[in-house]
Structure 1
Amino acid sequence: MKRTVHGIAGTLALCLVSAFFLSTMLAELSGNVETIVTVKRGILYGLALLIPSIAAAGGSGNFLARSRRGRIVDGKQRRMKFIAMNGLLVLVPCAFVLYRLASRGNFGPLFVGLQAAELMAGATNIYLLSKMMRDGFRLSGRLAPARASSRES
């Protein structure tokens, strides 16, 4: 059961962060103010699902890792801490401030700078969550282990 919860929560987190990133990029490229505001509002609402999914993935992952050790497990634990801190310190505050600025029509330098920071942090979390999924598949045996000559972390 814990494995199922972990897999679903991790997959949901990756899908949500990816959807937030993609919708932000498309809204910004459209240049339509209403679309940008709608996307920023949607991201705020989506946090109500993203935060618990990351918490569930982290909690269930810690539970599953109790009986396991090794490079892959240690890497997943380090990445999870970074993902959580990146989300709490960068992505969540940016989501609130960017929505507030967008809803006021303030697309000046502060908006642009925060948007850039949000996109970089989001891309980082997409990358890290993808690596977490890959390593989860390796631990479960659904994906072959990395070759010894590989330098992946």
Structure 2
Amino acid sequence: MIKIIHRIAGALALLTIATFWLTTVVSELFASEATVIIVKTTIPWGFLLLIPALAAAGGSGFALANGRRAGLVGEKVRRMPWIAGNGILILVPVALFLGSKARAEEFDAVFYAVQALEVIVGGANITLLSLNMRDGLKMKGRLRRFA
């Protein structure tokens, strides 16, 4: 059961973060200001899905690791503090700040500077989570290992 929880929670977390990132980039580049406001004020509501999914993925992952820290498990464990730190220290506060600025229709230089930070750090987290998913698939033999 814990393996199923880990797979579903990990995939859901990655999909949620990727959705946040993609809707942000597309709305900023191609959509109206009204759409940007909707996107930026909706993303924090997505935390109600994302945060439990990340917690479930992390907790189940540590349980599945069973104290092991070598090989691919070790790589996944070493990425987790970066993923969590980026999320807790940067992405959540930034999303709340941008949602507040968008709600007030304050699209100034600060908004766009913070938006750039969010896109960069969000992209880094997508990469780290994707690497963890790749390594998990390798460990289960669902993805070939290359020498």
Q: Report the TM range for the smaller structure's normalisation.
A: over 0.9
Contact 2:13 2:53 in 1 (8 A): yes
Deviations 1:60-113 (A, max 9, x none): 000000154422111101111110110001100011000100111111111011
Instruction: Give the fraction of aligned pairs with identical amino acids, expressed as a percent.
Output: 46
Letter in 1 for 2:130: S
Contact 2:37 2:99 in 1 (8 A): yes
Task: Note the C-alpha offset of 1:31.
Answer: 4.6
Gap regions ≥5 residues in structure 1: 148-153
Letter in 2 for 1:33: E
- Paired position in structure 2 for 1:46: 46
- Paired position in structure 2 for 1:19: 19
Deviations 1:23-67 (A, max 9, x none): 001110135111011101221110111111111100000000015
Moved more, 68-77 or 3-12: 68-77
> What's the TM-score once normalised by structure 2's chain length?
0.96
Contact 2:10 2:53 in 1 (8 A): yes
Letter in 2 for 1:2: I
Gap regions ≥5 residues in structure 2: none
SS of 2:142's partner is: coil
Moved over 3 A (4+): none
Q: Please give the residue correspondences for 1:3-152 in structure 2 after superposition, counting only pairs within 5 Å.
A: 3-66=3-66, 68-147=68-147
Q: How many residues align?
A: 147
- Paired position in structure 2 for 1:150: none
SS of 1:15's partner is: helix
SS of 2:35's partner is: helix
